[in-house]
């Protein structure tokens, strides 16, 4: 809910909300207002002159942030009640929740979270009021916060606070006190706000876990203890969120990767470096075969480049120094420093530059499965979705500037059709642009404006939702990314398309135009999977390990009712293998029902069961993953059925297994 209001001078925003009859409790409660400058204000804000404002409800994005930030303050109060020696860090809202950092003598234990949650509920029920006040000076703030070293650091920094903290407003220092029903101060915290009017408006809160975290995100700073929590406008929404978390845990690709024997991360190799097992290798090969064939169909030429290169190449490309923090340290050999390849584009530029090029060769499209290495911090490495060694289906199109829009449209259509073939068909686009205040971007304002306008126009023409991502561009140009929603509604960044007007100039790339002049091409980067590893992990979770038949490591398993039916099923499996189907027969000594359970646990699409009637009648009986069955299917028809489902890449329904 949002509504336009006028707050008369000398009254509060709360008075205007009440006079307008807007909700003051429940999920739709108005919790703050937005003034004409776009700033969120507490409901006890009283402007000096009549003010036009917008009411902000708890269930809106801004309202949820206010709810969760207020819950973080209640958590901090509870921690200092239960652990009086605790020193306060920061406590911002985050997606779906909040956290707060503390300096305590011992790490928090699971039983501590229970105690803290109980204390939080007491504070919520007490109906404490959040009250904002400004410090008159830095000295006043330092005097009050003398026992809070981390808060003192924020005061010293004043306005120069990192993105997550934002505890100090520009040009002002503010504090929030928690007051009891008699107006007495019971607790307080340095904070920019805003907050809920009362703790009673926190209807559903739960503490999730604790973890170690460096103060202000730097390994050079002290290690604190971070408590994560979540808060929602209603108990039903909290319950639904916890159910989504449980479903996400069931689908966790790291767990399923072990259960289905797909991949592992051996300690002997190193963090973030994956080993694909035979079954995972089948899926990876299917992905590679598919995308290689699609690139060739779309006019790309397959190339290959080495895993290491001399340092100078990355200076030419501009990745050094802009990208140095995410690259592995160099190796010194034969008087030169060599880097593990962190991206493929510089080497593709060398291929383009290897001989003279004509306009007749454009668009020139180069593609490879390039293995690259990124030195991700250990704290962000996460299964297949954040690794240190990855394989990109990386491609680069070199085109005349006037042909860039058509090439981007071609690439975007390619990307969207690929995602649909893998069963991802719910997506929107994100346009990442530069931050004009940052010095990490290269190129002129005109170049950025031209490139951004081209991407925006092509993205808009798709009819898909387009979301802005200010400051999210690569240093060399803006990009479109496809944000795909999986089976349980989570969003993943998948494919990217980037407009690059910088690297062609840095590498001196040129082609001979029709009029004989030498022209500089535009370079367009695109990655369809992004990385094979990450896409693999997303697919595992999207399908909960039950891959469509065309991707399944084992597509058909024969299950004999008795051992003497196994040879018959072997003949059937042999016919399937001739058609390119991955089929095998379970020859274990387990009983038939145990074999069926094993196949279900391995999420095999087709179980082909045979007994006396099937052997005598030349049939098999199918059992599918959803529990449905087809009995007495003639062998020719059975083979045709499996082949049709696999080759059609059907992703849903019992007939798709």
Rounded to whole angstroms, the Cα distance separating 468 from 471 reads 9
Rounded to whole angstroms, the Cα distance separating 92 from 76 reads 11
The neighbour count for residue 192, using CB atoms within 10 Å, is 19
Q: Average pLDDT for residues 145-160, to the nearest whole number?
A: 83
The pair phi, psi for residue 443, each rounded to 5°, is 110, 165
What interhelical angle do 532-542 and 278-297 show, nearest 10?
Answer: 110
3-class DSSP assignment, residue 546? coil
CATH of 259-542, one of 3.90.170.10, 3.40.190.10, 3.30.930.10, 1.10.760.10: 3.30.930.10
Segments of 90-247 assigned E as strands: 93-94, 97-103, 129-134, 174-179, 185-190, 204-214, 223-232
pLDDT at 7 over 90: yes
Task: Tell which residue, 72, 88, 81, 69, has the closest CA to residue 115.
Answer: 81
Segments of 307-402 assigned E as strands: 308-310, 331-333, 336-340, 364-373, 389-399
Rounded to whole angstroms, the Cα distance separating 293 from 198 reads 60
* Residue 194 near residue 32 (C-beta atoms within 8 A): yes
Return the residue matching tokens 């686009």: 429
Rounded to whole angstroms, the Cα distance separating 403 from 407 reads 6
Task: Tell which residue, 361, 336, 342, 340, has the closest CA to residue 351.
Answer: 361
Q: What is the pLDDT of residues 70-126, one digit of tens each?
A: 999 999 999 999 999 999 999 999 999 999 999 999 999 999 999 999 999 999 999
pLDDT at 169 over 50: no
- Residue 161: pLDDT band with limits 50, 70, 90: very low
Instruction: Please report the pLDDT score of residue 166 as a whole number.
Output: 43
* Residue 627 near residue 618 (C-beta atoms within 8 A): no
Query: What ranges in 331-382 are assigned the alpha helix state H?
Result: 345-353
What interhelical angle do 404-421 and 278-297 show, nearest 10?
Answer: 150
- What pairing do the DSSP bridges indicate for beta strands 263-264 and 223-232? unpaired
CB neighbour list of residue 110: distance below 8 Å, 6 or more residues apart: none
Pairwise pLDDT comparison (568 vs 168), residue with the higher score: 568
Topology alike, domains 62-241 and 259-542: no
The residues carrying an active-site annotation are 345, 374, 392, 394, 396, 479, 525
pLDDT at 390 over 70: yes
The neighbour count for residue 333, using CB atoms within 10 Å, is 10
pLDDT at 285 over 80: yes
3-class DSSP assignment, residue 613? helix
pLDDT at 651 over 90: no
* Residue 582 near residue 556 (C-beta atoms within 8 A): yes
Q: Average pLDDT for residues 481-488, to the nearest whole number?
A: 94
What is the third-level CATH fold of 556-656? Rossmann fold (3.40.50)
Instruction: Please report the pLDDT score of residue 172 as a whole number.
Output: 74
pLDDT at 1 over 70: no
Tokens (6 digits) for 384? 């297949």
Pairwise pLDDT comparison (319 vs 113), residue with the higher score: 113
Q: How far is CA 311 from the centre of its chain?
A: 31
pLDDT at 159 over 60: no
Return the residue matching tokens 């390990």: 545
DSSP-assigned letters across all residues of 567-611: HHHHHHHHHHHHTT--EEE--SSS-HHHHHHHHHHTT-SEEEEE-
Q: How far is CA 318 from the centre of its chain?
A: 26
The neighbour count for residue 413, using CB atoms within 10 Å, is 13
**Domain ranges, ordered by start, for the chain:** 2-57, 62-241, 259-542, 556-656
* Residue 230 near residue 98 (C-beta atoms within 8 A): yes
Of 161-170, 442-451, 631-640, the poorest mean pLDDT is in 161-170
Q: Kind and range of the H or E element at 631?
A: strand 629-634
The pair phi, psi for residue 126, each rounded to 5°, is -70, -15
Percent of residues, the chain, with pLDDT higher than 90: 88
pLDDT at 42 over 50: yes
- Residue 652: pLDDT band with limits 50, 70, 90: very low
Of 322-336, 372-386, 433-447, the poorest mean pLDDT is in 433-447
Q: Average pLDDT for residues 494-500, to the nearest whole number?
A: 94
Question: What are the distances in angstroms from CA 287 to CA 261, 273, 417, 418, 539?
Answer: 18, 19, 14, 10, 11
Q: What mean pLDDT, rounded, does the chain reach?
A: 93
pLDDT at 398 over 90: yes
Task: Tell which residue, 351, 461, 439, has the closest CA to residue 398.
Answer: 351
Rounded to whole angstroms, the Cα distance separating 615 from 138 reads 89
Q: What is the pLDDT of residues 44-79, one digit of tens each?
A: 999 999 999 999 999 999 999 999 999 999 999 999
What is the third-level CATH fold of 62-241? 3.30.980
Task: Tell which residue, 11, 19, 20, 9, has the closest CA to residue 1.
Answer: 20
Instruction: Please report the pLDDT score of residue 335 as a whole number.
Output: 92
Q: What is the pLDDT of residues 430-471, one digit of tens each?
A: 999 998 777 778 888 898 999 999 999 999 999 999 999 998
* Residue 173 near residue 188 (C-beta atoms within 8 A): no
């Amino acid at each position: 809910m949002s509504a336009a209001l006028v707050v008369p001078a000398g009254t509060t925003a709360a008075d205007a909300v009440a006079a307008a009859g807007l909700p003051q409790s429940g999920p739709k409660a108005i919790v703050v207002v937005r003034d004409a400058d776009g700033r969120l204000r507490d409901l006890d804000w009283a402007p000096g002159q009549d003010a036009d404002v917008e009411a902000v409800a708890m269930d809106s994005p801004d309202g949820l942030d206010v709810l969760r930030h207020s819950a973080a303050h209640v958590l901090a109060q509870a921690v200092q009640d239960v652990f009086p020696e605790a020193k306060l860090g920061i406590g911002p809202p985050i997606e779906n929740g909040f956290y707060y950092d503390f300096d305590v003598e011992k790490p928090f234990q699971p039983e501590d979270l229970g105690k803290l949650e109980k204390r939080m509920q007491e504070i919520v029920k007490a109906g404490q009021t959040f009250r904002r006040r400004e410090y008159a000076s830095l000295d006043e703030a330092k005097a009050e916060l003398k026992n809070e070293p981390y808060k003192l650091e924020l005061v010293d920094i004043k306005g120069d606070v990192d993105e997550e903290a934002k505890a100090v407003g520009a040009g002002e220092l503010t504090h929030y006190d928690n007051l009891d029903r008699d107006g007495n101060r019971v607790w307080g915290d340095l904070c920019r706000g805003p907050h809920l009017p009362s703790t009673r408006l926190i209807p559903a809160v739960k503490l999730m876990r604790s973890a170690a975290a460096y103060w202000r995100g730097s390994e050079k700073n002290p290690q604190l203890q971070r408590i994560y929590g979540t808060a929602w406008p209603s108990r039903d929404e909290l319950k639904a969120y916890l159910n989504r978390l449980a479903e996400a845990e069931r689908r966790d690709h790291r767990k399923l990767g072990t259960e289905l024997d797909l991949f592992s991360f051996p300690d002997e190799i190193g963090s973030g470096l994956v080993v694909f097992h035979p079954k995972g290798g089948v899926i990876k090969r299917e992905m590679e075969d598919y995308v290689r064939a699609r690139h060739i169909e779309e006019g790309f030429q397959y190339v290959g480049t080495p895993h290491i290169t001399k340092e100078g190449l990355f200076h030419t490309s501009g990745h050094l120094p802009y990208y140095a923090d995410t690259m592995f340290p160099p190796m010194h050999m034969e008087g030169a420093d060599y880097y593990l390849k962190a991206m493929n584009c510089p080497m593709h530029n060398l291929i383009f530059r290897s001989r003279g090029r004509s306009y007749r060769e454009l668009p020139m499209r180069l593609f490879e499965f390039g293995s690259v290495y990124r030195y991700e911090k250990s704290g962000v490495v996460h299964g297949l979705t954040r690794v240190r060694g990855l394989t990109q289906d990386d491609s680069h199109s070199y085109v005349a500037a006037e042909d860039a829009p058509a090439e981007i449209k071609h690439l975007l259509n390619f990307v969207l059709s690929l995602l649909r073939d893998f069963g991802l068909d719910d997506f929107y686009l994100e346009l990442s642009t530069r931050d004009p205040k940052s010095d990490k971007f290269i190129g002129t304002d005109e170049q950025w404006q031209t490139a951004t306008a081209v991407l925006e126009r092509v993205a808009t023409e798709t009819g898909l939702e387009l979301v802005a991502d200010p400051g999210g561009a690569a240093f060399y140009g803006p990009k479109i990314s496809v944000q795909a929603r999986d089976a349980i509604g989570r969003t993943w960044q998948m494919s990217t398309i980037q407009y690059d007007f910088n690297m062609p100039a840095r590498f001196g790339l040129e082609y001979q135009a029709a009029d004989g002049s030498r022209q500089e091409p535009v370079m367009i980067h695109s990655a369809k999977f992004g990385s094979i590893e990450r896409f693999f992990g997303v697919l595992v979770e999207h399908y909960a390990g039950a891959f469509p038949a065309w991707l399944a490591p084992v597509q058909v398993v024969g299950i004999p009712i008795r051992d003497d039916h196994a040879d018959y099923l072997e003949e059937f499996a042999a016919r399937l293998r001739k058609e390119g189907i991955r089929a095998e027969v379970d020859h274990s000594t387990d009983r038939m029902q145990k074999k069926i359970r094993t196949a279900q646990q391995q999420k095999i699409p087709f179980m082909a069961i045979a007994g006396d009637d099937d052997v005598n009648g030349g049939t098999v009986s199918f059992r599918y993953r959803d529990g449905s069955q087809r009995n007495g299917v003639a062998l020719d028809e059975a083979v045709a059925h499996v082949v049709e489902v696999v080759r059609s890449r059907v992703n849903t329904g019992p007939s798709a297994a």
